[in-house]
Amino acid sequence: MTRRCPLALLALASAVIAQDRGDTLQPSDYDKQSVMIPMRDGVKLYTELYRPKQADAPLAIVFLRTPYRTAAPNGGFTRYFESTFRVLRERGYVFAVQDARGRHGSEGTFEWNRPVRHRSDPDAIDASTDAHDSIAWLVDNVPGNNGRVGMLGVSYPGWYVTMALVDPHPALACASPQASPSDYFLGDDFFHFGAFRLSPSAELPYLFDFDPKENSRFPYDQVDLYEFFLDLGPLSNMNTRYLHGVSPTWNHFMAHTVYDDYWQQGATLPHLGEVTVPTLNVVGWWDAENLGGALDIYDRLERQDPRNLSHIVVGPWSHGQWASANATSLGRYEFGSDTSEHYQREIEAPWFESQLYGGAFELPEATMFQTGSNVWQEFDQWPPAAAERRALYLHADGSLAFEPPGDAAQGSVGWVSDPDRPVPYTARPVMPFWHGLPGSRDPRFQRAGKLWKVEDQRFASDRPDVVAFTTAPLAADVAVSGHITARLFASTSGTDADWVVKLIDVYPEDHPERELGGYQLMIADDVLRGRFRDGFDKPHAITPGAMREYEIDLRTRNHLFRAGHRIMVQVQSTWFPLIDRNPQTYCDIPNAKPDDFKTAEHRVWMVPDGFSRLELDVVAR
């Protein structure tokens, strides 16, 4: 079932809860205490506790674990009081914020993406045992707590929440993993379906933030990262010129470019069993880091959720935008309302209240913002049962239609891909993924990682090495709610190739906001490194000239293509420097030589044995 979100009822429930708990609290109403919490192996973890000064009843504990520093540089309250806890702090909890093992104020050794080990070795420690031991200490040692703990966190802190669900402590009453990664080789941060995510991986926080105990930044010596990474040449030059072998994270990446034991042991999904803790999974449709991970975690939990404890909320956000104080837009895309305020006050806060203090607040199975219409929708399952699987076919004349090509329209479309002139993933100059130019007021230079997903794709659509397929203006709305899969039947003159697919909403030229006329808004996107077409643990060369099927998983979306708009699919083979350059010659890419990088002709086919297409879940309007 699908229905619009009952905002008035949610607001009423939230108001009643707030009234029952008393007046809202501000930071000045809290006392701060720093403690070192011992783990089972004797290592102590730095933790800050925040308790309301006037607490006349047992309080629940809201717990966050982070690798990004708990303590404020000025000695004041943790920055999470102004972001993740911004609304929750008004209602009265004990807040506990902890530096992860080996990070900042905590003892021990940090291990990025530490595998779950305690199940095979009872003496081992991991992120699951650290969460378990911390919760046990909190409920035993924090005065006046009610014995109930809720966890939440965004991104890596979200992964710590997911790890707490592996073998949860009995006092863990609810958990909200937000933008949690699930598998760093298949769809999060570092690799996407075998393609190395070069730009975000080589800068804060992914590389330099996880090697030293304290945060640091990569020393870029060029403004345009497109030029920087192109001038870098083969990946082996990173150690030669910049890292000099001191970064274990980079060395791990370069040593494990196949889905081997290193990646499989660090994967999250195999360790998630039957859902016993109420769980609220949160992410944004334009999250450039962990949309895939969050959706995969929800899918995994749903298969093991007999008591209907697992729920999901997806908004129109970039990475972590739902935790901000004002989320009314992302780049040029306007949401039509303050979506973070709605999420925090009408969904997250009353859900935590109900789980930690009791009360009747019912959360739908899936609360999904529909981009294109700017409407919150509720579903009793995701993807919705009412969705119909339909195919959008690529035609050799550049058109796109729900009907397969007829005899006269069959054929292929080709392009030449030159690794020395790759397609940029964003308009140049390409700014650092996480940090733009200090002090710049130009939105192009501000935190590129937040904006490129909603950037007008016209900068790429007219390049000769990008092929575009477009429908006629839609006669009626098309609501895509659920899975999107690209099935390319393609060939290459090389022995390896990357296949990048982007689903785009093309605005009409006579759009009421003239600046948006013809705007190409990217709705879904991803890449498959061709060598992994038969499995990510068994790469092999592509036979030159042979047509093969390549499946690119674009996961799920909830978007309304409005009447008068057009649907576009762009296909390309470079996406730089978001992903590294594929030499298009089958070789060990981290050790590729300049001569391995070859120009190749790629071709997508539209023939009876291989109709290239997108398969979409479409819901009738």
> Do 313 and 349 share a structural domain?
yes
How far is the CA of 585 from the CAs of 10, 312, 389, 593, 600, in angstroms? 56, 42, 36, 11, 9
Cα–Cα distance between 436 and 547 in angstroms, integer? 42
Does residue 262 lie in a domain region? no
> Do 321 and 372 share a structural domain?
yes
Could you say which of 379, 400, 418 is where a domain stops?
Answer: 379
> Do 503 and 430 share a structural domain?
yes
pLDDT in the model for residue 409: 79
164-187: pLDDT as tens digits: 999 999 999 999 999 999 999 998
Q: What is the mean pLDDT of the chain?
A: 91
Sign of CA dihedral 168, 169, 174, 177: negative
Averaged over 230-240, what is the pLDDT?
A: 94
pLDDT in the model for residue 12: 31
User: At residue 2, does pLDDT exceed 50?
Assistant: no
> Do 417 and 350 share a structural domain?
no
Q: In which band, very low, low, confident or very high, does the pLDDT at 273 lie, cut at 50, 70 and 90?
A: very high
Look-up: residue for tokens 């105990």? 213
How far is the CA of 41 from the CAs of 64, 107, 138, 612, in angstroms? 21, 11, 17, 55
Structure tokens of 415?
């392009």
Does residue 220 lie in a domain region? no
> Do 484 and 572 share a structural domain?
yes
Cα–Cα distance between 32 and 53 in angstroms, integer? 10
User: At residue 385, does pLDDT exceed 50?
Assistant: yes
Provide the H-helix boundaries in 303-406: 339-342, 349-357
Q: What is the DSSP letter of 422?
A: P
Element holding 449 (H helix, E strand): helix 448-451
pLDDT in the model for residue 245: 85
319-376: pLDDT as tens digits: 999 999 899 999 999 999 999 999 999 999 999 999 999 988 999 999 999 999 999 9
> Do 443 and 316 share a structural domain?
no
Q: In which band, very low, low, confident or very high, does the pLDDT at 209 lie, cut at 50, 70 and 90?
A: low
Q: In which band, very low, low, confident or very high, does the pLDDT at 219 lie, cut at 50, 70 and 90?
A: confident
pLDDT in the model for residue 244: 86
pLDDT in the model for residue 550: 98
Buried b (16+ CB within 10 A) or exposed e, 166-203: bbbbebbbbbbbbbbbbbbbbbbbbbbbbbbbbbbbbb
Does residue 78 lie in a domain region? yes
Strand partners, 99: 66
Cα–Cα distance between 243 and 202 in angstroms, integer? 10
How far is the CA of 488 from the CAs of 33, 199, 547, in angstroms? 57, 26, 10
282-293: pLDDT as tens digits: 999 999 999 999
Could you say which of 379, 406, 435 is where a domain stops?
Answer: 379
In degrees rounded to 5, what are phi and psi of residue 478? -125, 115
Rg of the chain's alpha carbons, rounded to an integer?
24
Cα–Cα distance between 484 and 486 in angstroms, integer? 7
Structure tokens of 310?
């697992």
> Do 398 and 362 share a structural domain?
no
The distance of Cα 47 from the centroid of its chain, to the nearest Å, equals: 27
pLDDT in the model for residue 433: 72
> Do 425 and 317 share a structural domain?
no
Better-predicted residue by pLDDT, 15 or 63: 63
* C-beta pairs of 252-255 under 8 Å, 24+ apart in sequence: 252/112, 253/190, 253/196, 253/201, 254/590, 255/590
Structure tokens of 283?
């992410």
Percent of the chain whose predicted confidence (pLDDT) is above 90: 80
pLDDT in the model for residue 16: 34
Burial class (CB in 10 A: 0-12, 13-18, 19+), 307: exposed
In which domain, by residue range, is 429 found? 388-619
User: At residue 21, does pLDDT exceed 50?
Assistant: no
Does residue 223 lie in a domain region? no
> CB within 8 A of 259, min separation 6: which ones?
185, 186, 194, 532, 535, 536, 537
User: At residue 14, does pLDDT exceed 70?
Assistant: no
pLDDT in the model for residue 256: 95
* C-beta pairs of 341-344 under 8 Å, 24+ apart in sequence: 342/7, 342/376, 343/282, 343/313, 343/315, 344/86, 344/87, 344/88
Provide the H-helix boundaries in 480-565: none
User: At residue 538, does pLDDT exceed 80?
Assistant: yes
Sign of CA dihedral 297, 298, 303, 305: positive
pTM (predicted TM-score): 0.93
User: At residue 448, does pLDDT exceed 80?
Assistant: no
**Residue 523 in contact with residue 443, Cβ under 8 Å?**
no
Q: For residue 305, what is the domain's CATH number? A: 3.40.50.1820
pLDDT in the model for residue 214: 58
How far is the CA of 564 from the CAs of 205, 505, 567, 585, in angstroms? 42, 11, 10, 43
Strand partners, 32: 50
**Residue 248 in contact with residue 262, Cβ under 8 Å?**
no
> CB within 8 A of 512, min separation 6: which ones?
none
Does residue 260 lie in a domain region? no
- What is the DSSP pairing of strand 329-330 with strand 195-196? unpaired
Q: In which band, very low, low, confident or very high, does the pLDDT at 545 lie, cut at 50, 70 and 90?
A: very high
Comparing CA positions, the residue from 107, 103, 83 lying closest to residue 95 is 83
> Do 120 and 100 share a structural domain?
yes
Does residue 234 lie in a domain region? no
Does residue 559 lie in a domain region? yes
Structural domain tally of the chain? 2
Could you say which of 335, 362, 379 is where a domain stops?
Answer: 379
Better-predicted residue by pLDDT, 221 or 133: 133
Provide the H-helix boundaries in 142-212: 156-164, 198-201
Cα–Cα distance between 368 and 233 in angstroms, integer? 42
3-class state of residue 361 by DSSP: coil
> Do 407 and 318 share a structural domain?
no
> Do 596 and 490 share a structural domain?
yes
Burial class (CB in 10 A: 0-12, 13-18, 19+), 298: buried
Q: In which band, very low, low, confident or very high, does the pLDDT at 434 lie, cut at 50, 70 and 90?
A: low
496-524: pLDDT as tens digits: 999 999 999 999 999 888 889 999 999 99
- What is the DSSP pairing of strand 411-417 with strand 548-561? unpaired
pLDDT in the model for residue 64: 98
3-class state of residue 421 by DSSP: coil
146-161: pLDDT as tens digits: 999 999 999 999 999 9
Does residue 230 lie in a domain region? no
In degrees rounded to 5, what are phi and psi of residue 425? -85, -10
pLDDT in the model for residue 246: 80
Q: What is the DSSP letter of 23?
A: S
pLDDT in the model for residue 243: 84
Q: For residue 612, what is the domain's CATH number? A: 2.60.120.260
> Do 348 and 418 share a structural domain?
no
**Residue 218 in contact with residue 253, Cβ under 8 Å?**
no
Structure tokens of 298?
């929800």
Q: In which band, very low, low, confident or very high, does the pLDDT at 22 lie, cut at 50, 70 and 90?
A: very low
pLDDT in the model for residue 204: 41
**Residue 433 in contact with residue 576, Cβ under 8 Å?**
no
